[in-house]
Structure 1
Amino acid sequence: MNLSLEHPEMLFLIIPVIIVGFYLLRKTKTKLVEWRMLVAFLLVLALASPYTTITQTISEEDPSLVLIQDQTSSMGIFSEEAGSELYKALVANTPTTLVQLTGDKTSLGDTITQYAGSGNQIVLVSDGNNNAGKDLSEALEFAKETSTPVYLVEPELTTNDLSVEIVGDKTVVVDNRNEFGIVVRQASNQSVSYFLEVFVDGQLSQSRDFILEGRNNSDNPIPINQAFTTLGAHNLRVRITPHGEDRNAVNNEFFKSVYVIPKPRLTLVTNEPDSPLGRILDNLYNVSAFSTYPGAAALESSKVLVLDNQIMGSFSEAQIKEIKNYVSNGGGLVVVGGEQAYNYGNYLNSSLEEILPVLSKPSEYKGGRNLVLILDVSPSTAAHGTQADILANAIYIIQNENLRDANAGVIAFGSEGYDVSGGFVFLGLSQNREILEDKISRLTPDEQSKTSLNEGLNVTKTMLSGSDGELDAIIISDGAIEDSYAPSLRAARELQEMGVNLYFIHIHSVAPSQTDKARNYYAENLMKELGLENNYFHINKGERANIGFEPPAEPPEEGEEEEVELDAYPLLEYSPDHFITKNVNLSNATITGYNDVTPKAGAERLVITVTGKPVLTTWRFGLGRVAAFTTDNGEGAGSRWASALYNGSSARLISGMTNWAIGNPRAEEGASLDSPDTWLGTPSDLTLTMYDEGIPELKMDGSPIDLALTGRNTYEASVNPETIGIHDISGYPLSVNYQLEYRDVGVNEDIKSLILATGGKIYTEKDARALLLKDARQNSERQSDEPVSLKMPVLLAALVLYLGEILARRIKEMRKL
């Protein structure tokens, strides 16, 4: 029992009690003083108001519910009165508030935030697509933090609907082939066919039939490779004609505006201007090539300086100072390696190295730890109520401080295994951890009935093949693996033979049935047969498994290090979601040589070899961006370390690296206007930067725009066109498409794991009428700490002692008489 005091300052009264008590004891030397001191102590304690807390279980028979009924425009593909019967059933049995959302925008996030945390439980009757106000994932996280269960009732789909969208850059460079993607979505999950037409500047460019399998093709959009030969405004338009049911026609057409700018100027210092690197740069940019550093004057209008395999001795200190000032003031710098650069070019401790994100000495990084999380998303995890705990344990592991220098991959398995993370992701960067956590939280149970752990282990084997350093694989499951036990055991033994440390986190339901108890045998026995009993963790719902991750083995001391020598070094994307690497496929890219460097603190490794050596490292220097590309130009005076990198899809790494270093590709002259494309009813924020003197004046479709000065030579305005199509802002294009409400069609699958994380569940309308109130009553049970005052018992004890002392004294006196 924990004892606390409401007024602890009252305990200071004990001091005078002690002083008076000891004084009287010295004078009288009688037990009466001791009794009276003890009574005084108790009275002082009573004044301090002692109390304790007891935990009580509170259960509401009639929980308070808020039913949010989505009746916005996108809900037209579902039953017309979705949620009405459920509301009638709920309000007849428990206090239920009805909130209806109407119109052409859905603000689920705002509504959830408004009603969460007030003792309510929230019921969503919606497709789960949020397109206005607070982000839905943030709102559900807030609901989770405030212990507000959120239930999702999926309405019945009555008709299908398709939508189309074009994704890609708005600002592009003249004469460069630009890739745009066409994303098609549908409400149902069936195979549908449609006829696609693509128009470029109003002229039909291509047309043919396509088949969409699944909900959308966002992971593999239809590519449009288009080059524009003239500067200024251009546009793309796509139109789909579904060969089946389609509720809305408004979202079958999409406009994209394109603004074509001159090729950015780039300064290349190289002894091999015709190398693969030189040819790619010359094709994409306005390149001025020099055999030696040309001086500060040549950099004035250049966006990027590229130093290709340059030895330190070819620069004077004054020239390095010029380069440093150029980068500090916003210029980009790309330093390409080779046999005269970095560790071979005397960069170590030089003034040039001060600008670079790497030190020109061998990297001590040996590959660190490579960790794979194998997550069970089979239907049994939903049936046992363990899905949210499986995902929460995975996120808990990713947040482990001892894994900051680890590479992590995430694999999910149900009937099949699949890569969730897109390969290994470096956990040392907070944005990488956030991306992984987001991908994990969006996982939903597999619709197939089979739990095939072996499939997940096989994908793990592929992911870890060729990896160095510490190799770990952690299975997080409800343990229902009996149907795949034998092949799973074989796959696990193969991983052991590769040197992989296997762990099993087994989460079971609160009150498992006899069938569940029988299933529990398989998970534990799997680890016993592998001889890994100590790596088996059997935990309850709500608990987290604490795996003691020891730091990886230290690399050998200097002079003892054994270099890994290979004929070719496959490359890995160390930070796959960075601007440079997100659209690059390095699965088949290899190099035969590199400069051995060490990233500085604060630098970001983007590409490494399989042995852990940095190949592309970036950072910011002042206002500028610096990239250290520590392999050669593909020619390398005959060495040809990286010739494979300049061919096929791998060559995007070069353009991505250079575009990142450029930052803003527009020339800083005249006036520069930027206004992102938008949706009908959603304003676009316009920004105008004036590099020349003059009073800015802009018109949209001939009508003047009111501009507000918000910074030095910077003006802003908000424009909200009232019609769909391409609009003209003084020669700059702005496309306005159908309302955002019609883009995401059908039930949002991505929020299901977030719903489960709040303690809620997902139902059909029929199941909700039968089960939701029962589950809400169960979720209304909560533990409450109630304070209980101990003042009265203390006063009674003081009174008993006082009266007892008087009674004892009277009896003693009577005996004497």
Structure 2
Amino acid sequence: MVQLENPEMLLLIIPALIAGLYLLKKGTKKGLIISRIVVAILLIIALASPFTLVPRITTDDNPDLVIISDETDSMELFVNGTASELYEAMTAKTSASLVRLTGDSTALGDAIVQYATGDNQIVLVTDGNSNTGEELVDALQFAKETGTTVYYVQPELEENDLTVQIVGDKTVILKNENQFDIVVSQAMDQEISYNYELYSDDTLIRSGKVTQTTREKSIPVTQVKFTKLGAHTLKAIIKPSSSDVDPINNQYYKAVYAIPKPTIRAIGLETNSPLADILLNLYDVSTSGELNNIDTKKAIIIDNTHANSFTEANVEELQDYLNDGRGIVVVGGDRSYNYGDYLDSPIEEILPVLSKPTDWSGGRNIVLILDISQSTAAHGTIADILGNAINILHNDNLRDAYLGVIAFGSEGMDVSGGLQFLGTASNIEFLESEMATLTPGSTSETSLNEGLAIADEWLDNEVGELEIIIISDGGIEKSYDESLKVAEDIVDKGVNLYYIHIRSSAPSQVDNYGNFYAETLMNEVGGVYFHLDEGERANIEFEDLQQTEDEETADIGTYPLIEYNTKHFITKDIEIEGSITGYDDVTPKAGADRLIITSTGKPVLTTWRYGLGRVAALSTDNGQGGENMWATQLYSDNNSKLISSTVNWAIGNPREETGAVVNAPDTWYGTPVTIELTMYDEGIPTLKLDGDALDLSLTGNNVYEAVINPSPIGLHDLSGYPVAVNYALEYRDVGLNEELPALIKSYGGSTYSVNEARAKLFEEAQGNSEKLVRDSVSQKIYFLLAALIIFLGEVILRRIKEIKEMKKLQQEIET
């Protein structure tokens, strides 16, 4: 495509055309005037400097390598000198430089951003634990955008180290039972024993001996109560029985602040129900059925109440209540939602659901076939292949679908173990982790037909919407004929076929006629073809499937519960088990968040934000019910945490909104933290850290902030509010970061052991130094030649005409 370096010069065409039209109107030599206009336009286009971009592949036989050596305190667990030895090996082959990171913090992201110039490649020699500065994901994205490949060399771990943390809420309710987890991590993946002790306000409350065989172990400590308001301290200590390099991270402090029970209003609550048992035990519950004095309540619980109980004035009060930043939880039953005439009623306006049956969106089976042949590494397309696959995996319209992953190179390979249900976060994480381990093969063969054959076998006995999505760099010329035969059989069975073709410099994408093999294949079988450039993602629209009559009327008696969203505040620390036997049939509104569903896709717990407030719709009963008890399992054992988490989410801030309220997270030695002071009453805002006044800055309506960096390690007093300072972040994450290899791979790099790096890294760096360069080639000469040819042609024709006329005149004179 022709582009212009100086497009503004084209504006000169306007006066040229005006002058030409004027001369055409006044003059008689119209042919001459038209030719001059054309010549002028061509000259003006030449002045605009037209050019085209011509692609070519460049290769650097001596790639520039920047070796970043992590020599911070946490690296004392590893063999010393790894980066220096690698540097010496690389300098014998190519240009290399060595950068050392030292100190008591690790800023890998900052180092990547600093040294990624686009004309070099980066080698990280590190444990992979970055704890300050730029996020690694953002830094790797920056490096990819600049054209810098990042490799990861894992140093050899020679010593073990243990670290301990306490996980749990900082704000707790007075006299309520709480659970805290003692999390112990080790650098190595080996069996190790240790004793642990947990102190509450210097009193030993738990102890024991643990044998740990995994990198991380969580020790739950339940029924922890605090009987006095205000500041408290938890302290965990571990005493390893074998090698442990650094004892500084064997002790952990957690500050706890106990507050009075939040006051809530319960409307329609059945006092003998399992729901009531939980609420009355954890909160200060007012059971008045009226909406008077609700401004003093942290949340409102509406239990199985008919729509006719709420007038428009009542709903306006609830709307005002929510707009003040408070929360409401509406519990279902046989007098609620679709059974309580909520549809199109005033109360439904504030709810995250409509009280009508939800559209069923299951019945879809998808197979992803991913190209991991050698060409995907040689031409840099593997990252985009995996990126498009993960993009499909997280499509919101596939949460009720089943999906499997197949990889192909010289042969087909089952990656996922068949089709997996996408309604559970654990399955999505499993599929993503399995795809992250894929690496391009060692052969140049690309046997798409092998992958298609496995997919055909998977879908052979499935019903519903059947779809196969191929993601490849398009180099399928050797297996094209076999792939065409298998694809034709698959499509004949009613399977939808898609091909996402990642553009690369591989010549095997194109046949002798200049056509892409992938596109031709889809044209032959009637599939859908996507041609993508580097970094692009295919937009495949998966429409909702309509439920059949048999599926709508099916009654399986029990409905297993599934966590649909495990990242929400309510569900992040809860593992739901069991079933319900009934529910209110509702449909989530746009913008609502489904947290718990049944295995048939019916919403059970749905939330959304209404103005500044929060609303949760629990569309099953209170565990007691009427004639039928739907949700008894939901209120028993570990599942009961879902109810308290939902109410806590609705409450938001459980602390009293009077006087001066301080909020400050615990921190790490050497890591500053922002603290916040909210003034609910008039007065002068003051805060003291260990007796020293702080400088406060006004950041909002009666909200003040300050940045503190308390030391030493231990507990600190912030005007009565506790702040714990623990060992430096550098000592928290020990051993190799197991997530980094997949991250490096997703951005086009590779992970090596030390020996592998010496043998293979240079060759891969040479391969990755191949770059597609687009040279600018000027096209102005063609416009100048065209103008010259037209001008000379017109002059020659005019001269010939003049000569003929002179000869004719001469003949007339002679006669």
TM-score, normalised on structure 2?
Answer: 0.82
Give the structure 1 partner of residue 252 of structure 2. 254
- Of 688-697 and 629-638, deviating more is 688-697
Give the superposition deviation at 1:674: 1.4
Give the structure 1 partner of residue 198 of structure 2. 198
- 1:163-562 equivalences under 5 Å are 163-217=163-217, 222-270=220-268, 272-290=270-288, 293-297=289-293, 299-360=294-355, 362-368=356-362, 388-398=383-393, 404=397, 406-407=399-400, 417=416, 424=423, 440=432, 444-445=436-437, 492=458, 496-497=461-462, 499=464, 501=466, 503=468, 505=470, 507=472, 535=497, 537=499, 549=541, 551-554=543-546, 562=552
Cα distance between partner residues in 1 of 2:372 and 2:790: 67
Give the superposition deviation at 1:307: 1.7
| SS of aligned partner of 2:576 | coil
Q: Check 1:10–1:732 CA distance in 2 against 1; reply closer, same or farther (3 A cut).
A: same
Q: Check 1:378–1:73 CA distance in 2 against 1; reply closer, same or farther (3 A cut).
A: farther
| SS of aligned partner of 1:67 | strand
Does structure 1 residue 137 correspond to structure 2 residue 137? yes
| SS of aligned partner of 2:216 | coil
Q: Is the 8 A contact 1:686 1:719 kept in 2?
A: yes
The letter of the residue matching 1:192 is I
- Of 638-647 and 688-697, deviating more is 688-697
Q: Check 1:578–1:57 CA distance in 2 against 1; reply closer, same or farther (3 A cut).
A: same
Give the superposition deviation at 1:73: 1.0
Give the superposition deviation at 1:223: 4.6
Q: Is the 8 A contact 1:510 1:540 kept in 2?
A: no
Q: Check 1:86–1:550 CA distance in 2 against 1; reply closer, same or farther (3 A cut).
A: closer
Cα distance between partner residues in 1 of 2:583 and 2:222: 35
The letter of the residue matching 2:714 is G
| SS of aligned partner of 1:748 | coil
Q: Check 1:93–1:155 CA distance in 2 against 1; reply closer, same or farther (3 A cut).
A: same
Cα distance between partner residues in 2 of 1:203 and 1:510: 68
Give the superposition deviation at 1:537: 4.7
The letter of the residue matching 1:505 is I
Q: Is the 8 A contact 2:302 2:330 kept in 1?
A: yes
> Deviations for 1:39-84, whole angstroms, at most 9, x for unmatched residues?
6565454344333332222223333333222111111112222311
| SS of aligned partner of 1:197 | strand
Give the superposition deviation at 1:794: 4.2
> Deviations for 1:689-733, whole angstroms, at most 9, x for unmatched residues?
233344344433343434344334333222222211222233322
Give the structure 1 partner of residue 670 of structure 2. 681
Q: Check 1:387–1:794 CA distance in 2 against 1; reply closer, same or farther (3 A cut).
A: closer
The letter of the residue matching 2:432 is I
Give the structure 2 partner of residue 8 of structure 1. 10
Give the structure 2 partner of residue 99 of structure 1. 99
Give the superposition deviation at 1:171: 0.8
Give the structure 1 partner of residue 562 of structure 2. 572
Q: Check 1:776–1:665 CA distance in 2 against 1; reply closer, same or farther (3 A cut).
A: same
Q: Check 1:21–1:759 CA distance in 2 against 1; reply closer, same or farther (3 A cut).
A: farther
Q: Check 1:343–1:148 CA distance in 2 against 1; reply closer, same or farther (3 A cut).
A: same
> Deviations for 1:120-157, whole angstroms, at most 9, x for unmatched residues?
32221222211111111111112222222111122222
Give the structure 1 partner of residue 711 of structure 2. 722
CA RMSD of the aligned region, Å? Answer: 4.3
Cα distance between partner residues in 1 of 2:593 and 2:428: 17
The letter of the residue matching 1:336 is V
> Deviations for 1:484-532, whole angstroms, at most 9, x for unmatched residues?
999x689726x734557252536479699xxxx7999799869958976
Cα distance between partner residues in 2 of 1:192 and 1:790: 72
Of the three residues 623, 628, 631, the one matched with 1:642 is: 631
Give the superposition deviation at 1:326: 2.5
> Deviations for 1:167-205, whole angstroms, at most 9, x for unmatched residues?
111111122222222222222233333332322322333
Give the structure 1 partner of residue 86 of structure 2. 86
| SS of aligned partner of 1:618 | strand
Of the three residues 593, 596, 606, the one matched with 1:604 is: 593
The letter of the residue matching 2:168 is G
The letter of the residue matching 2:339 is Y
Q: Is the 8 A contact 1:17 1:40 kept in 2?
A: no
> Deviations for 1:559-609, whole angstroms, at most 9, x for unmatched residues?
x99433332222232322211122332342x22222233333332222223
Give the superposition deviation at 1:655: 0.9
Q: Is the 8 A contact 2:4 2:48 kept in 1?
A: no
Give the superposition deviation at 1:772: 2.6
Give the superposition deviation at 1:671: 2.8
Q: Check 1:381–1:302 CA distance in 2 against 1; reply closer, same or farther (3 A cut).
A: farther
Give the structure 2 partner of residue 739 of structure 1. 728
Q: Is the 8 A contact 1:379 1:445 kept in 2?
A: no
| SS of aligned partner of 1:353 | helix
Give the superposition deviation at 1:273: 0.7
Cα distance between partner residues in 1 of 2:591 and 2:467: 33
Cα distance between partner residues in 1 of 2:99 and 2:620: 61
- 1:596-675 equivalences under 5 Å are 596-675=585-664
| SS of aligned partner of 1:636 | coil
Give the structure 1 partner of residue 114 of structure 2. 114
The letter of the residue matching 1:347 is Y
Q: Is the 8 A contact 2:365 2:467 kept in 1?
A: no
Q: Percent identity?
A: 43
Give the structure 2 partner of residue 769 of structure 1. 758
| SS of aligned partner of 2:739 | helix
Q: Is the 8 A contact 1:78 1:156 kept in 2?
A: yes
Give the superposition deviation at 1:659: 0.8
The letter of the residue matching 1:146 is T
The letter of the residue matching 1:51 is F
Q: Check 1:758–1:327 CA distance in 2 against 1; reply closer, same or farther (3 A cut).
A: closer
Cα distance between partner residues in 2 of 1:381 and 1:54: 23
Q: Is the 8 A contact 1:371 1:407 kept in 2?
A: no
| SS of aligned partner of 2:261 | coil
Q: How many residues align?
A: 764
Structure 1: runs of 5 or more not aligned: 427-431, 450-476
The letter of the residue matching 1:349 is D
Give the structure 1 partner of residue 155 of structure 2. 155
Give the structure 1 partner of residue 508 of structure 2. none
Q: Is the 8 A contact 2:306 2:341 kept in 1?
A: yes
The letter of the residue matching 1:301 is T
Structure 2: runs of 5 or more not aligned: 407-412, 505-530, 811-815
Give the superposition deviation at 1:538: 8.5
Give the superposition deviation at 1:19: 4.5
Give the superposition deviation at 1:738: 0.8
| SS of aligned partner of 1:535 | strand
TM-score, normalised on structure 1?
Answer: 0.81
Give the superposition deviation at 1:386: 7.3
Q: Is the 8 A contact 1:673 1:687 kept in 2?
A: yes
> Deviations for 1:521-563, whole angstroms, at most 9, x for unmatched residues?
7998699589768637595686769696552344589xx9943
> Deviations for 1:612-660, whole angstroms, at most 9, x for unmatched residues?
3322222222332222222211112332121221111221221111111
Give the superposition deviation at 1:676: 0.5
Give the structure 1 partner of residue 64 of structure 2. 64
Give the structure 2 partner of residue 784 of structure 1. 773
